[in-house]
């Protein structure tokens, strides 16, 4: 992920010079090189690589007959040989951004015309803020905070959404004065006015009626295409390999496409003390079949929030995985092995329908054969536990989408406002077969999940790639009825079918594992004092949106303490101050 920075300001004085120096210094902290500067009439631009070998992120543009020469700041996950020709880098060319994770800033030579673009799933970040003399744009909110005219006021609505476990507005950041470019958006700034356009994925109709064999073949093709894009420009990849289907699917495609070069690295964490949740033997079998260079590491002592263990905090946002220490250990192993990119099966769960919907959708689409097969091949006990049969007995649950339970934590009127916004977003997804699933994939939380991990990987000079966030694959999966996700007791049916014959049957048929509950409970017991200490600075901010006093709210929902601790860490890392919330 390259780092981009642009300052558009008509003033040409010492104050602008000082602001630019501090902005560039903070942006430089994220890069692996000094970067490249350009200065024009009323504008300044800077860009740098975060991973050695990335294509040059700053491109000088020639005139196309309508717009004078300017610059393009381009953060795009491709190799230099795949870079589009300069003739294609025109203001009107939207094809440049189809399918590939990217963000860009185009600046005309006069500085009076600026265009921002972000890929359709928001896999590259881009933020902006207005100043007295113009606008400042960067690859992260914390960079923008360095400008003296960008205040550090915190947005209470944003934190209310965080507490509720739902997405904020697509352009909302934790800071009230800083906006994010929404996924798929193009923003044009001319003088003092913005104009926004937005590209969104629409569902496909064709896949719903494909025969099973054709469906499996199409799925395999899309996965291979997504992995090929993820491997573009990579010298040696690593994969974070669990014993599950999602990372196995990516690993199998990667191993097949990487033949003849240095073996890719597979990294698996495990537990010596919690054997019941240790998946290393399953990951080893997968890696051995695929011919990967496999390395494992025990993470029993990498307890979240434990003092003395490095837990880097991205200063842009308090969104963060609770398993930060485990992921950091994996990145460190990849970097030490000489890899330059890490692939992950992350977000795969969100592409599949809830198991409770398979039977209803199968009947709705005339697939009685699937129902008969499930009845004939399943044991009585399995059928009794089948969520598809159980929900069929309670059809009202299918007609009404329940609001996220986290909304009950919020005080009025913010709770009603956020619930109304959530329902309006859900209604906008009505064209998709599974609107709630589509919302999970396209909202601001998903965009951060796509782009936020880049910051952590870049600390180790690694590119982070998520093939299961490829737009064509996401569109295909979300266009399918639920019975292509689950068939009877077989969850993730499509992934299992695609891997059949390519991995050992025992691994293909194995139920989903990876439950870290025992590890999390141990961390909760051993690090309670640390959690409470870290959370102390965040409670004044969070209490402003909670419906109940802190003691009552935490008793009802223990994870609020973990959330508050993460926010407390972030406030320190981002120079945030809860007293400035507004």
Judge if 172 and 292 occupy the same domain: no
Judge if 103 and 251 occupy the same domain: no
Residue 175 is assigned to a structural domain of this protein: yes
Range(s) of the domain holding residue 8: 3-198
Judge if 515 and 537 occupy the same domain: no
Domain count, the chain: 3
Q: What is the CATH number of the domain that holds 112?
A: 3.60.20.10
Cα 7 to Cα 134: distance, rounded to the nearest angstrom: 8
pLDDT at 399 (0 to 100): 47
Q: Where are the alpha helices (DSSP H) in 267-366?
A: 280-290, 324-336, 358-364
What would the two tokens of residue 265 be?
Answer: 């690295």
Burial 357-382 (b: 16+ CB within 10 A, else e): bbbbbbeebebeebbeebeeebeeee
Query: Are 231 and 258 within 8 A, CB to CB?
Result: yes
Residue 419 is assigned to a structural domain of this protein: no
Q: What are phi and psi of 115, to 5 degrees?
A: -130, 130
pLDDT at 90 (0 to 100): 41
**516 CB-side CA count, 13 A:** 17
What would the two tokens of residue 537 be?
Answer: 């600075």
Residue 417 is assigned to a structural domain of this protein: no
Query: Are 261 and 248 within 8 A, CB to CB?
Result: no
Residue-wise pLDDT for 439-467, tens only, equals 989 998 888 888 889 999 999 999 999 99
Cα 383 to Cα 488: distance, rounded to the nearest angstrom: 8
Closest CA to 453 of 135, 50, 12, 40: 50
Residue 482 is assigned to a structural domain of this protein: yes
CA 49 to chain centre: 20
Q: Tell me if residue 440 falls in helix, strand or coil.
A: helix
Burial 224-250 (b: 16+ CB within 10 A, else e): bbbbebbbbbbebbbbbbbbbbbbbbb
Average pLDDT over residues 23-27: 96
- The last residue of one of the domains, among 198, 225, 246, is 198
pLDDT at 112 (0 to 100): 76
Average pLDDT over residues 530-559: 85
Residue 424 is assigned to a structural domain of this protein: no
pLDDT at 394 (0 to 100): 53
Residue 334 is assigned to a structural domain of this protein: yes
Residue-wise pLDDT for 82-98, tens only, equals 444 443 444 334 444 55
Judge if 251 and 214 occupy the same domain: yes
Q: Tell me if residue 198 falls in helix, strand or coil.
A: strand
Q: Is it the case that residue 381 has pLDDT exceeding 60? A: no
Residue-wise pLDDT for 142-187, tens only, equals 999 999 999 989 999 999 999 999 999 999 999 999 999 999 999 9
Cα 178 to Cα 193: distance, rounded to the nearest angstrom: 16
Judge if 215 and 109 occupy the same domain: no
Q: What is the CATH number of the domain that holds 234?
A: 3.40.50.620
Cα 329 to Cα 269: distance, rounded to the nearest angstrom: 9
Q: Which has more confidence, 362 or 70?
A: 70
- The last residue of one of the domains, among 135, 164, 198, is 198
Percent over 70 (pLDDT), the chain = 83
What would the two tokens of residue 200 be?
Answer: 């969104």
Cα 267 to Cα 499: distance, rounded to the nearest angstrom: 20
* Cα three-residue angle 91-97-99, rounded to 5 degrees: 165
Judge if 26 and 169 occupy the same domain: yes
Judge if 312 and 269 occupy the same domain: yes
Radius of gyration (Cα) for the chain, nearest Å? 24
Under the banding of pLDDT at 50, 70 and 90, the label for residue 77 is confident
Q: Is it the case that residue 302 has pLDDT exceeding 60? A: yes
- Give residue for tokens 């964490």: 269
Average pLDDT over residues 507-512: 86
As a whole number, the mean pLDDT across the chain is 84
pLDDT at 110 (0 to 100): 74
Judge if 217 and 335 occupy the same domain: yes
pLDDT at 66 (0 to 100): 52
Judge if 213 and 119 occupy the same domain: no
Q: Which has more confidence, 473 or 489?
A: 473
Residue 48 is assigned to a structural domain of this protein: yes
pLDDT at 109 (0 to 100): 80
Under the banding of pLDDT at 50, 70 and 90, the label for residue 579 is very low
Residue-wise pLDDT for 322-355, tens only, equals 889 999 999 999 999 999 999 999 888 888 876 5
Judge if 144 and 229 occupy the same domain: no
Q: Is it the case that residue 290 has pLDDT exceeding 50? A: yes
Closest CA to 47 of 55, 39, 36: 36
Judge if 140 and 170 occupy the same domain: yes
Judge if 114 and 216 occupy the same domain: no
Query: Are 151 and 131 within 8 A, CB to CB?
Result: no
What would the two tokens of residue 462 be?
Answer: 């690694």
Q: Is it the case that residue 6 has pLDDT exceeding 50? A: yes
Burial 542-563 (b: 16+ CB within 10 A, else e): bebbbbbebeebbeebeebbbb
pLDDT at 98 (0 to 100): 57
pLDDT at 526 (0 to 100): 87
Residue 193 is assigned to a structural domain of this protein: yes
């Amino acid at each position: 992920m390259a780092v981009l920075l642009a300052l558009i300001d008509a003033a040409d004085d010492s104050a602008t010079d000082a602001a630019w120096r501090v902005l560039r210094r903070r942006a430089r902290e994220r890069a692996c090189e000094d970067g490249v500067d350009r200065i024009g009439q009323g504008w300044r631009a800077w860009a740098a690589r975060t991973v050695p070998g990335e294509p040059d992120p700053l491109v000088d543009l020639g005139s196309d007959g309508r717009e004078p020469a300017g610059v393009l700041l381009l953060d795009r996950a491709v190799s230099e040989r795949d870079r589009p020709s300069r003739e294609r880098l025109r203001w009107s060319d939207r094809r440049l951004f189809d399918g590939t994770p990217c963000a860009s800033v185009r600046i005309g030579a006069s500085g009076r015309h600026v265009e921002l673009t972000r890929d359709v799933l928001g896999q590259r970040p881009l933020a902006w803020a207005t100043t007295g003399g113009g606008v400042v744009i960067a690859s992260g909110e914390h960079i923008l905070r360095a400008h003296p005219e960008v205040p550090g006021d915190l947005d209470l609505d944003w934190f209310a959404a965080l507490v509720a476990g739902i997405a904020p507005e697509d352009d909302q950041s934790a800071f009230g004065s800083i906006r994010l470019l929404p996924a798929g958006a193009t923003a044009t700034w001319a003088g003092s006015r913005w104009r926004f356009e937005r590209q969104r994925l629409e569902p496909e109709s064709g896949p719903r009626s494909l025969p099973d064999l054709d469906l499996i073949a199409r799925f395999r093709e899309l996965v291979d295409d997504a992995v090929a894009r993820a491997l573009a420009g990579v010298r040696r990849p690593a994969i974070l390999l669990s014993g599950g289907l999602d990372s196995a699917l990516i690993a199998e495609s990667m191993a097949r496409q990487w033949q003849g070069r240095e073996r890719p690295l597979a990294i698996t964490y495990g537990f010596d003390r919690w054997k019941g949740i240790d998946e290393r033997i399953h990951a080893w079998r997968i890696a051995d079949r695929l011919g990967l260079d496999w390395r494992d590491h025990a993470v029993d002592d990498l307890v979240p929030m434990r003092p003395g263990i490095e837990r880097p905090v991205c200063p842009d946002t308090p969104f963060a995985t609770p398993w930060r220490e485990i992921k950091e250990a994996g990145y460190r192993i990849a970097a030490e092995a000489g890899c330059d990119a890490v692939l992950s099966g992350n977000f795969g769960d969100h592409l599949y329908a809830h198991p409770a919907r398979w039977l209803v959708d199968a009947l709705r689409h005339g697939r009685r054969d699937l129902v008969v097969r499930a009845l004939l091949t399943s044991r009585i006990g399995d059928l009794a536990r089948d969520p598809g049969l159980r929900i069929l007995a309670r059809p009202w649950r299918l007609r009404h989408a329940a609001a996220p339970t986290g909304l009950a934590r919020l005080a009025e009127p913010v709770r009603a406002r956020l619930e109304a916004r959530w329902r309006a977003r859900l209604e906008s997804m009505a064209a998709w077969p599974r609107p709630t699933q589509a919302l999970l994939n396209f909202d601001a939380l998903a965009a951060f999940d796509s782009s936020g991990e880049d910051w952590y990987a870049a600390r180790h000079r690694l590119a982070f790639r998520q093939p299961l966030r490829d737009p064509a694959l996401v569109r295909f999966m979300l266009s399918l009825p639920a019975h292509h996700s689950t068939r009877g007791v077989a969850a993730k049916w499509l992934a299992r079918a695609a891997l059949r014959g390519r991995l050992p049957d025992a691994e293909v048929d194995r139920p989903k594992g990876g439950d870290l509950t025992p590890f999390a409970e141990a961390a909760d017991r051993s690090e309670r004092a640390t959690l409470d200490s870290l959370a102390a600075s965040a409670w004044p901010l969070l209490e402003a949106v909670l419906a109940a006093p802190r003691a009552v709210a935490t008793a009802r929902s223990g994870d609020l303490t973990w959330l508050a601790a993460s926010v407390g860490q972030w406030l320190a890392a981002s120079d945030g101050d809860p007293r400035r919330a507004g």
